[in-house]
Amino acid sequence: MTLNRLIIPPWRDHWFKSNPCYQFQARWKFHRAFLWRDFMSIETSLRIFPPDWTQPMPLRDFFGNDQPIEVDLGCGKGRFLLAHATAHPNVNFFGVDRMLRRIRKVDNKARRQALSNIRLMRMEAYYATTYLLPPASIATYYIFFPDPWPKKRHHEHRLFNSRFMDALHRTLTPGGGVHFATDHLPYFAEVCALIRADRRFAEIPPFVPEPEEQTDFERYYIGRTPIGRFSFRKT
């Protein structure tokens, strides 16, 4: 005699999975795996945790050398950051992104490639620049394809505004530069106008990454839509 396989009716399966207890348990199992991986790799992780999240942090201490520091704001999956850090071993690179999963992936890739000149932080770009980076400490910013917030009612969420320009000026070294790129041309025009009206900065030739350094966004949009590039330096 054989036992038939238990079959749960579709309506009952839907009720079970919509139960709050089941949902909590499923989420906990999902996050537990990430927490365990973080715990196992905390000693070798390239992620930075400032001693005070409300004050400028000793960024250079996390690198342990006097090499210039460049920042990739919104580093995403890290394609540009990893390739550029590999090509410039005598420069320190600091990757910032608000998505924890992205930061974890870049962290794992950088450690596998033995890139000791990379440090990472999970943080929103505006907050990191305004509150966590020390004065006159950054040689270069790379800001590629930030969220353009295309709807008019969301424009206040855009990264570039007068307050962000103040933060860039405060944290850049004398002569330090910023490289910006976006596929959203109305946003590009707005950013260019904002920068050209600020006498604290001067326009320089736009930075064009090498093919192996192109971000995933750039690789997707090349050939589909024009890409605006604008670079400027602190005077």
User: pLDDT per residue over 83-111, tens digit each?
Assistant: 999 999 999 999 999 999 999 999 999 99
Looking at 13, 52, 107, 147, which residue is catalytic? 147
pLDDT digits (tens, 9 = 90+) for 122-165: 999 999 999 999 999 999 999 999 999 889 898 999 999 999 99
Tokens of 22: 């089941």
Phi, psi of 74 (to 5 degrees): 75, 55
Q: List helix spans (H) across the chain.
A: 10-17, 20-41, 59-63, 79-87, 100-112, 125-127, 162-171, 185-196, 216-221
- pLDDT tens for each residue of 186-235: 999 999 999 999 999 999 999 999 999 998 878 887 778 899 999 999 99
CA-nearest of 120, 130, 146, 109 to 230 is 146
Q: What is the pLDDT of residue 32?
A: 57
Whether residue 170 has pLDDT greater than 50 = yes
How is residue 152 annotated by DSSP? G
The whole-number pLDDT of residue 40 equals 44
- pLDDT of res. 139: 98
pTM of the model: 0.81
- Residue range 12-18: mean pLDDT, rounded: 49
Tokens of 202: 């001067």
Q: What Å distances lie between residue 106 and 77, 78, 90, 167, CA to CA?
A: 6, 6, 20, 26
pLDDT of residue 221: 76
Spatial CB neighbours of 6, under 8 Å, sequence gap ≥ 6 = none
pLDDT at residue number 220 = 80
pLDDT digits (tens, 9 = 90+) for 17-73: 455 555 555 555 555 555 555 544 556 799 999 999 999 999 999 999 999 999 999
Q: CATH fold of 50-234, please?
A: Rossmann fold (3.40.50)
**C-alpha span between 116 and 158 (Å, rounded):** 32
In the block, tokens 């070294």 appear at 173
The answer to whether 147 is a known catalytic residue is yes
- 74 in Cβ contact with 125 (< 8 Å): yes
Cα separations (Å) of 11 from 16, 39, 55? 9, 40, 53
Residue identified by tokens 């992104």 is: 97
Residue 23 has a pLDDT of 52
Predicted pLDDT of residue 208: 95
Q: What is the pLDDT of residue 93?
A: 98
Rg (CA), the chain: 22
